[in-house]
Amino acid sequence: MRDGQTDPDEALVERIGRGDSAAVQALVARKLPRMLALARRMLGDAVEAEDVAQDVFMRVWKQAPSWRPGAARFDTWMHRVALNLCYDRLRRRREDPVAEPPDRPDPDAAPDRNLQAAEVGARVDAALQTLPERQREAIVLCHYQELSNIEAAQLMKVSVEALESLLARGRRSLRTGLSDLAPARHAKG
DSSP 64: G
Q: For residues 123 and 181, is the Cβ–Cβ distance under 8 A?
A: yes
Q: What is the pLDDT of residues 114-152, one digit of tens each?
A: 566 667 777 888 888 889 989 998 998 888 888 889 989
| Residues 83 and 18 placed together within one structural domain of the fold | yes
Percentage above 70 pLDDT, the chain: 80
Q: Are residues 37 and 93 in the same domain?
A: yes
pLDDT at 76: 87
Model pLDDT for residues 21-52, shown as the tens digit of each residue: 899 999 999 999 999 999 999 998 899 999 99
* Model pTM score: 0.61
Residue of 47, 83, 64, 57 whose CA lies nearest to 10: 64
Q: Which of 64-73, 104-113, 121-130, 179-188 has the lowest mean pLDDT?
A: 104-113
Look up the CATH number of the domain holding residue 67.
1.10.1740.10
Asked whether residue 88 is domain-assigned, the answer is: yes
Residue 160: give the domain boundaries. Answer: 112-181
